[in-house]
Homo-oligomer: A and B are copies of this chain.
């Protein structure tokens, strides 16, 4: 085969890499994947893959050999390895100096403070006395390694606070990460401002969405966020674009925000990869976040982030409470017959309880209708219709 296009290396074989494969097929962009185990989500659909450890530099070098660019399914590749790959002449996108802000919440908070971006009040704490001085209630977070509700402790102003605190510092002791204390924000809801930035600085901002978490896991997204003040929406997009620019992000930047009860937005988290709050774009936007991530890291002009429908609702499919419920596949006859407009995205993962195994998108003119359709379908796949309503 003659080389028709450069090959993009992707580190990490989860569902985000899997969903990059779809636009890569259309773009004629070959992907080369490093998967953490045989048969993981993305390895099922990307022929050119090998299995290995993303913490091993030799493995990273082997996978990226001959690839002009490397990008990521997750944020867990050590910073020093990213610098080594850059020194080898590979374009690392997003680069280590940007990515560290998504890897380390302490670094992120310091940098956002320096930029004057509104964040929850926060401080690095080294022991229970610091936490008491910071003030209760508060949230303790490991600065590195947490995701989907892991590495987060809600410390209440009650008798049990010292135990929660002790647990956090035990993890810190064990793993060597720092602990960040943050105020409990009195928020109306969570928002997400997702932008994509190319190496040139060209950038595209998707509509700001509202997201609902359950047990620390993204559960539902509504695009655009209903009844959001237009000035606040524009401000959130500007904040996300400014962070992307100041940090030199290449690819998707998802800025998760608290909308406070007094009408401000505070930055909660940053992610520098396609993000759960952008899955609605697969069916609801002209260009999906996955395609625009590929276009950005390959230094191509970005596609339009404009919505294609008045409303798009995404609901995650989690593994249900009953492991006997069986294959998600068996949910198709009802779900598809009930809603011929429903868009289903499965990840090729075994549905263990609480595990993200897919999502559904429903779009249309009527928000209530979209919510009902997406929630019903996700609950149906979970085998748990009793929990359907919000």
The interface of chain A, by Cβ under 8 A from chain B, is 1-6, 18-19, 21-22, 25-28, 30, 39, 43-47, 49, 286-287, 295, 300-304, 306, 308, 327-329, 332-333, 336-337, 340-350, 358
Cβ-defined contact, A327 with B287, below 8 A: no
Q: Which residues of B contact A47 (CB under 8 A)?
A: 43-47, 49
Known contacts A2-B350, A44-B47, A308-B308: A340-B22 contact under CB 8 Å: no
Q: Is A4 in contact with B304, judged by CB distance below 8 angstroms?
A: no
Q: Which residue of B lies closest to A343 (CB)?
A: B26
Chain B residues whose C-beta falls within 8 Å of the C-beta of A1 in the assembled complex: 39, 350
In the complex, the answer to whether B341 meets A304 with C-beta atoms within 8 Å is yes
| B contact residues around A343 at 8 Å (CB) | 26
CB distance A25 to B30 under 8 Å?
no
Residues of B within 8 A of A30 (CB): 44, 348
| Further pairs besides A28-B329, A303-B336: 10, Cβ < 8 Å | A3-B327, A5-B329, A19-B25, A21-B25, A26-B344, A286-B341, A295-B336, A300-B332, A301-B337, A303-B342
- A340→B26 contact, CB < 8 A: no
- Chain B residues closer than 8 Å to A49, beta-carbon distance: 47
Inside 8 A of A358's CB, which chain B residues have their CB? 28
Q: List 28 A-B contacts (CB under 8 A).
A: A1-B39, A1-B350, A2-B350, A3-B327, A4-B327, A4-B348, A5-B327, A5-B329, A19-B25, A21-B25, A22-B26, A26-B346, A27-B332, A27-B344, A27-B346, A28-B346, A28-B358, A30-B44, A43-B47, A47-B49, A286-B341, A295-B336, A300-B332, A300-B333, A300-B336, A303-B336, A303-B341, A306-B341
Contact of A302 among B22, B340, B349 (CB under 8 A): B340
Q: Taking the full assembly, how many copies of this chain does it contain?
A: 2
Provide the bound-state CA to CA distance between A347 and B4, in Å. Answer: 10
B45–A25 touching, CB < 8 Å? yes
Q: In the complex the two chains form, what is the Cα distance from A4 to B346 in whole Å?
A: 10
A-side binding surface: helix, strand, loop or mixed? loop
List residues of chain B with CB within 8 A of the CB of A341.
286, 303-304, 306
Alpha-carbon gap, A346 to B24, bound state (A)? 10
Docked CA distance A49–B48 (Å): 12
Closest approach, in angstroms, between the C-beta of A29 and any C-beta of chain B?
A: 8
Q: Please report the C-alpha to C-alpha distance between residue A333 and residue B325 in the assembled complex, in whole angstroms.
A: 48
A82 → chain B closest CB, angstroms: 26
B28 A336 Cβ-Cβ under 8 A: no
Interface centre among A5, A26, A308, A349 (most CB of B within 10 A): A26
Bound Cα distance from A49 to B46, whole angstroms:
12
In the bound complex, CA of A21 to CA of B47 (Å)? 12
If A302-B340, A333-B300 touch, whether A4 touches B328 (CB-CB below 8 Å) is yes
Complex Cα spacing A304 to B4, Å = 35
In angstroms, Cα B286 to Cα A342, docked, is: 9
Chain B nearest Cβ from A384, distance in angstroms: 19
- Is B333 in contact with A4, judged by CB distance below 8 angstroms? no
Closest to A30 in B: B44
- Bound-complex Cα distance A306 to B3 (A): 38
Residue from the list B22, B46, B300 in contact with A22, Cβ < 8 A: B22
Query: B residues within 8 A CB of A346?
Result: 4, 26-28
Closest 4 CB pairs of A and B: A28-B346, A301-B336, A301-B337, A5-B329
Q: Are B28 and A328 in contact (CB under 8 A)?
A: yes
A344 to B24, CA, bound (A): 11
- Looking at the assembled complex, report how far the CB atom of A42 sits from the nearest CB atom of chain B, in whole angstroms: 10
B4 touches A340 (CB 8 A): no
